[in-house]
Amino acid sequence: MAEKYFKYVIVGGGVAAGYAAKEFAAQGVKPGELAIVSKEAVAPYERPALSKAYLFPESEPCIHSMFSSAVIVNFYLLPRYSQGTYIRINFTAPARLPGFHVCVGSGGERQLPQWYTEKGIELILGTEIVKADLASKTLTTATGATFKYDTLVIATGSSVIKLTDFGVQGADAKNIFYLREIDDADKLIDAFKTKKNGKAVIVGGGYIGLELGAVLKMNNFHVTMVYPEPWCMPRLFTSGIAAFYEGYYANKRIDIIKGTVAVGFDSDANGEVKTVKLKDGRVLDADIVVVGVGGRPLTTLFKGQVEEDKGGIKTDSFFKTSLPSVYAVGDVATFPMKLYNEMRRVEHVDHARKSAEQAVKAIMAAGKTVEEYDYLPYFYSRSFDLAWQFYGDNVGDSVLFGDNNPTSPKRKFGSYWIKDGKVVGAFLEGGTPDENKAIAKVARLQPSVESVDQLTKEGLTFACKI
């Protein structure tokens, strides 16, 4: 097969690839110089939409947009919480492509396939890279085709951890789902139709578990969530924060089983999952099962060829790896977190976008100065009519403020984390755009605080006066 050469190649077709392409175009990449190679069949899209509006039922009304009310669009636009305002538009259709192609998630231009053509960027879809020889700057596809490059951007993201990886009995049954790509979401939608009003079991109590718990309930499933931890989202939530969401979900008639795990699955004659067996001996009926137990960075292709650290590919503040012609962005990059003076790896769409843009600026600098990456950790989620944001670091002591009663009509509360006498992290449920900016500022500036009691008493006022 003929070998193709590009000056720049991006491996991976997710959020980071789309935002990298945007920055390459902004920096004046010439037609024919850049290619994106992706195993997915569609152009890069805003992946967070898959666990939210993509799975909404046809009648779901609560779609948000940053656009003016005169603009009606068919997608779920992730709000730029930290930059400007957004409004609510009542809307009946779930999100569908081409509505949520990048870069709509940050208020940018929607990059349809023709956008790449117009910019002279070759978008090579449905193509899996199975070998990367970084020494010879050669990539090989599953069909034997090869690509040569001068500069490589690794944007391969993460893969989901599957129960079959651990040999869980019956975990290969039909109707056990994982969610990472649009094909996964399409399979879930088909199951919603064939198992309408059925029983769903969610294995995992993190982002995917909580967000899919909401959309499954909205699709009229009887939902049971199962996770081994003492409360949901333990990597971020304190027990006080988690108590609100668990109570809220319980009020939505979602059953929650904590402190145990799924150890097996039974199937019917058609090979479809029928029951979920738990370690504590309970057996749950299930028409569908959705598993969300984490992911792994996709670095296998590059093992032994670039330096690694903390499970990812080690980079500098410009996302350059130990090889000067190779950059790594998004989930796969372990980079210097300037704010905390340590190396970290971050799996989040916000970092995927910003790291991609930073790397391309460095690649295209041509002697110009590029500032070091100075990232403030940022996480958010939306489910039902809830919306929370977190900025900074959740280390040290924590205090809870506001009303975290799940039956409260106001539903506004938050938490601060304090380390060495400084506020290093802030969480807020139900905040306005200005209030969310305020907690972001607190996490960035890390103001000193006289006492924990002061934070408890002042609550959100503390952030708003910084």
Side-chain-facing half-sphere of 402: CA atoms under 13 Å: 25
Q: Give the DSSP per-residue string, 414-462.
A: EEEEEETTEEEEEEEES--HHHHHHHHHHHHH--B-S-HHHHHHHTHHH
Both 357 and 260 in one domain: the answer is no
Cβ of 50: how many Cβ atoms within 10 Å? 24
Residue 451's pLDDT is what?
Answer: 85
Would you say 147 and 58 are in contact if contact means Cβ atoms under 8 Å apart? no
Residue range 389-435, pLDDT digits in tens: 999 999 999 999 999 999 998 889 999 999 999 999 999 999 999 99
Helix, strand, coil share of the chain (percent; to 5): 25, 30, 45
The angle at the Cα of 52, spanning 48 to 58, to the nearest 5 degrees, equals 140
Q: Can you tell me the distance from the alpha carbon of 388 to that of 456, in angstroms, rounded to the nearest whole number? A: 19
Would you say 26 and 109 are in contact if contact means Cβ atoms under 8 Å apart? no
Residue 93's pLDDT is what?
Answer: 73
Both 321 and 395 in one domain: the answer is no
Both 349 and 324 in one domain: the answer is yes
Amino acid at 193: K
The reply to whether the predicted model has a pTM over 0.75 is: yes
Tokens 């292709």 found at: 301
Q: Can you tell me the distance from the alpha carbon of 399 to that of 393, in angstroms, rounded to the nearest whole number? A: 14
Q: Tokens at residue 382, please? A: 């939306």
Would you say 396 and 438 are in contact if contact means Cβ atoms under 8 Å apart? no
Q: Tokens at residue 41, please? A: 């069949």
Tokens 């929370």 found at: 388
Side-chain-facing half-sphere of 36: CA atoms under 13 Å: 31
Minimal CA–CA distance to 383: which of 155, 34, 53, 42? 53
Q: Looking at the domain assignment, is residue 112 inside a domain?
A: yes
Q: Tokens at residue 7, please? A: 């000056």
Q: Tokens at residue 28, please? A: 């004046």
Boundary of a domain, candidates 293, 315, 345: 293
Both 140 and 281 in one domain: the answer is no
Q: Can you tell me the distance from the alpha carbon of 402 to that of 322, in angstroms, rounded to the nearest whole number? A: 47
Both 143 and 173 in one domain: the answer is no
Number of domains the chain is built from? 3
Q: Looking at the domain assignment, is residue 168 inside a domain?
A: yes
Residue range 58-113, pLDDT digits in tens: 764 443 333 222 223 333 333 333 333 333 434 447 999 999 999 999 999 999 99
Q: Looking at the domain assignment, is residue 58 inside a domain?
A: yes
Minimal CA–CA distance to 325: which of 7, 13, 35, 5? 7
Q: Can you tell me the distance from the alpha carbon of 336 to that of 22, in angstroms, rounded to the nearest whole number? A: 24
Provide the total of helices (H) and of strands (E) in the chain, helices listed first: 9, 28
Q: Looking at the domain assignment, is residue 373 inside a domain?
A: no
Boundary of a domain, candidates 254, 270, 293: 293
Residue 454's pLDDT is what?
Answer: 87
Both 12 and 139 in one domain: the answer is yes
Q: Looking at the domain assignment, is residue 372 inside a domain?
A: no
Both 29 and 144 in one domain: the answer is yes
Q: Tokens at residue 460, please? A: 């959100």
Both 271 and 168 in one domain: the answer is yes
Chain center to CA of 33: 29
Amino acid at 384: F
Question: Could you give the 3-state DSSP secondary structure of residue 253?
Answer: coil
Q: Tokens at residue 225, please? A: 């969530």
Q: Looking at the domain assignment, is residue 283 inside a domain?
A: yes
Locate the DSSP E strands across 186-272: 199-203, 222-227, 255-258, 262-267
Both 277 and 321 in one domain: the answer is no
| Residues 6 or more apart whose Cβ sits within 8 Å of residue 369 | none
CATH number, domain containing residue 234: 3.50.50.60
Both 16 and 99 in one domain: the answer is yes
Q: Which residues pair with 381 in a beta bridge?
A: 388
Structural domain including 195 reads 163-293
Residue 277's pLDDT is what?
Answer: 98
What does residue 464 show for φ and ψ, rounded to 5 degrees?
A: -70, -15
Q: Looking at the domain assignment, is residue 377 inside a domain?
A: no
CATH number, domain containing residue 424: 3.30.390.30
Tokens 């000193």 found at: 448
Boundary of a domain, candidates 305, 331, 363: 363
Q: Tokens at residue 438, please? A: 């305020």
Both 146 and 194 in one domain: the answer is no
Contacts 24+ apart (CB under 8 A), 135-143: 135/305, 137/325, 139/9, 139/11, 139/37, 141/37, 143/1
Q: Looking at the domain assignment, is residue 378 inside a domain?
A: no
Both 175 and 144 in one domain: the answer is no
Residues of the chain under the 70 pLDDT cut: 1, 59-92
